[in-house]
Amino acid sequence: MHLAADRRRRPKAVKAIINPMKRKGSLRAALAGAVLGAMLPLGLVGCGEPESEADRIRRLGREGKVDALAEKIKAADPETARLAVRCLAQAGEKAQPVVREAMDDPRAQVRAETALVYPRVAKRPEAQKRLGDLARRDPEARVRGSAVRALGQMRGLEQMETLLTALDDPDPLVRHLASEAVSRIMGQRHEVNLNGPAEKRRQDIARLRKVWQRWKGTVRGYYRGRIEHQRKNR
């Protein structure tokens, strides 16, 4: 009897020492605190892995640091420069001059990336004009292909003649991308013998040009109405 009463009168601290299982959570927290306290002076907590160059560039993109990304485009590694161009898209129109300048970069990989990014940082007429120039004049097929692909994605019907010409590009991938872009803009696929004899392909392109001449008024009206609707609902 006296033993039971004595147990009931014990202070909480004594009970915790006698029966630590009752305070298992508290003991764990105390132990964790002691371990952290020992590690902090040694610099073992909160350090993590050092930030990689790619992570640093992505962070600059999220922060909209256009000037810093412009410096990264000058990097010797073309993949680093490409990533910097890609991340400039997050900065919007203020990045337009930097991306425009990168369109003249001597490295084809970088120019190809600018073609995909430019519509996101430039106004629509300017983007179509510059992409049309790349699609017609760049000596590298990968750059022409990126420009054609970007025109299709933005439905750049003002450059439809450029896209029709690209259906006869020397590179088969560029021809394929041009066909996809034309179909996307017109809303219907038209058969062009992309990999057959050149003479047959050019006949198909000439026929498609005539179709476009009949359709372009309707297609322009459709996209004009669509753009106005998007502006009103922003």
Residue-level pLDDT at 34? 55
**pLDDT at 74 exceeding the cut of 90:** yes
**pLDDT at 83 exceeding the cut of 80:** yes
pLDDT in tens, 131-185: 999 999 999 999 999 999 999 999 999 999 999 999 999 999 999 999 999 999 9
Q: How confident is the model at residue 27 (pLDDT cuts 50, 70, 90)?
A: low
| Region 18-22 average pLDDT | 44
Q: Which of 89-103, 162-176, 188-202 has the lowest mean pLDDT?
A: 188-202
- Its pTM stands at 0.74
Cβ–Cβ under 8 Å, residues 85 and 101 = no
Domain ranges of the chain: 54-122, 141-216
Pick from 69, 233, 117, 209: which is nearest to 131 by CA? 117
Pick from 93, 75, 92: which is nearest to 84 by CA? 75
Residue-level pLDDT at 49? 72
| Region 105-112 average pLDDT | 97
CATH 1.25.10 fits 54-122, yes or no: yes
Residue-level pLDDT at 42? 42
Cβ burial of 178 (10 Å; 0-12, 13-18, 19+) is buried
Between CA 206 and CA 190 the distance in angstroms is 12
